[in-house]
Structures are given as structure tokens and as C-alpha cells.
Amino acid sequence: MLLKQIKSIYHDIFKSYDSPTLTHHIKKIIELDAYLPYSSTFFCITNTQNLTFEFISKNMTSCIGLEKDELLKEGMRNFWNRIHPEDIELWLKALNDLMVFTLAEIPLDKRSHMNYTWNYRLKNAKGVYVNIVQNTTPLEFDAGMKPIIGLAHYTVLDSKIKMPITATAKLLNEKNEYETKYFNNFSHKLLTNGLSNRERDVIRLLTINKSSKEIAESLNISPNTVDTHRRNILKKLNISSTGELVGMLKINKNLV
């Protein structure tokens, strides 16, 4: 996908009309950076209206080796150029779905209490694709209460770790606790693709907590055959356990 296409889709997701300014709160965050220790996490203040970084913390260079002055000058376009080609479309879909969910499901007065997490692979200064887990809290909104300025924390994880592209939206509730309002795993293909009818039958029974023996009786096949189907399902979907599969299906209703 070309950078111009990414910019167009990204602008569509975060389309806004106001010209927000950084608040006193943001300025204090910037001041705090001088006192923070070096770690595997850095943070930025992002402006999705003009596609710029308003601020980048000092840890960014130690985490991924890039010069922050270059990113401050060139903005998000420079950053996007480094996202793994295989992750770009999934990343954009995750952003779009989070925005659609927020506008449709989260009341206006609650949107300032939201927190969003997603991940992707990013090429560091050495040319190695590392895993980035981005956690963003909105700080400013446009007239339609779309988040346009955010505090984004980036945690860098080893390139050898295999991570599916996921997205989560959480709401800070009255108990001052974050509760998950949305989750999706964008790396999993629809279960209708690549699985046999019998494997889909097994999956449906697994989701209602049937054992291999019970599934065998329902489908008139042997328990050993059920176990073979289960192993094949996990392999095809690149899932490590039946528990993970069931959890994924219960959260992502669109997969069945």
C-alpha cells in the first residue's frame, strides 16, 4: 500500500474540523520527560488532524534508534513508512474499527475516559522489524468529539515474538478501573475460510463447552477424530490452545 493511500485512509478515520491547541496538561507531560528513566517505552503527543508529532520523548531514540528531530519534522508519514508491509492494512482496519465503535457505542461525555491499544511491527534504525504495542489516551477532541490529540505510549518488544494484530478499547469506569469495551484480533481469518464443514461443526460445539467425547457423540465420529480436527483447527488458525480459540470466538462474534 502506498504512503499516499495510507494518508488518505488515516485522514478519513480521523477527519476533523477544529484546530486544537496543547493544554496545560500536555505541557506538564513534556516537562516530566526530563525526569523519566530510560526504558523500553517511549511516548509521543500525536495530532491526527495535521499528522504531526507535537512531542516525542527522549526514550524514542534509545528504543528504536531513530532521531526524534527527523520525526518531528516529517511527522507521521515518516513513521508509517517503517510499518511492516504485511501489517499496514490490518493496522488501518484496526484504527478504523476503533473509531467506528467509539462514535457508535461510546456516549459523548465518556469519550475522554477511553483508552486504546493496538500493535504492529516497525522497522528500527538497524532495519529490524520490532513489535510495537501502542497505547493511546485521547486528550483533545474536535466538534464531533472525535479524538484528535492523544498521548501515545509505545512499548518495544523483541522482533522474535510473534504477535497477532489486535485492537482494544477500554473505558475508565466509576470505580476508576478500566473495563474492556471492544476487542478484536485482526490477524485471524474468518472461520469460513480454510476450514472444512466438519471442522466448523467441531468449533461450534467447542464454543458451548462440549468435551471431545460429547462432540464425538453429537457428530457420530470417534473421540480420536475429534482430537485430530482440534489440532488441525489450531494449526490452520495459528492458535496455541483450544481455550484461546474459544475465548476468541466468544469475543469476536463475527468469526462464526
Find the CATH number of the domain harbouring 212. 1.10.10.10
The arithmetic mean of pLDDT across residues 116-136, rounded, is 95
In a domain, residue 92? The reply is: yes
In a domain, residue 168? The reply is: yes
- Taking the chain, what is the end-to-end CA distance rounded to the nearest angstrom? 29
Same structural domain for residues 207 and 160? no
Only one residue has cell 502506498, namely: 2
**Residues forming a β-bridge with 150:** 46, 138
Same structural domain for residues 48 and 165? yes
The last residue of one of the domains, among 127, 157, 185, is: 185
In a domain, residue 28? The reply is: yes
Tens of pLDDT, residue by residue over 8-55, are 766 666 666 554 455 566 677 777 787 777 888 999 999 888 889 989
Same structural domain for residues 82 and 160? yes
Same structural domain for residues 48 and 95? yes
Same structural domain for residues 174 and 204? no
In a domain, residue 75? The reply is: yes
**Contact (CB, 8 A) for 118 and 124:** no
Q: Which residue would you say has higher pLDDT here, 73 or 19? A: 73
For position 148, which CATH number holds?
A: 3.30.450.20
The last residue of one of the domains, among 185, 217, 241, is: 185
In a domain, residue 140? The reply is: yes
Rounded-to-integer distance, Cα 94 and Cα 184, Å? 8
In a domain, residue 192? The reply is: no
**Contact (CB, 8 A) for 158 and 130:** yes
How many domains is the chain partitioned into structurally? Answer: 2
Same structural domain for residues 114 and 72? yes
> Is 85 strand, coil or helix?
coil
- Residue 248 banded pLDDT, cuts 50, 70, 90: low
Q: What is the pLDDT of residue 201?
A: 87
Nearest Cα residue to 199 out of 238, 225, 165: 225
Same structural domain for residues 111 and 204? no
Please give the residue range of the domain that contains residue 171. Answer: 3-185
State the chain's mean pLDDT as an integer.
84
In a domain, residue 191? The reply is: no
Tens of pLDDT, residue by residue over 143-193, are 878 888 889 999 999 988 888 899 999 998 888 888 999 988 887 655 555
- Residue 252 banded pLDDT, cuts 50, 70, 90: low
Q: What is the pTM of this model?
A: 0.69
C-alpha cell at 227: 482430537
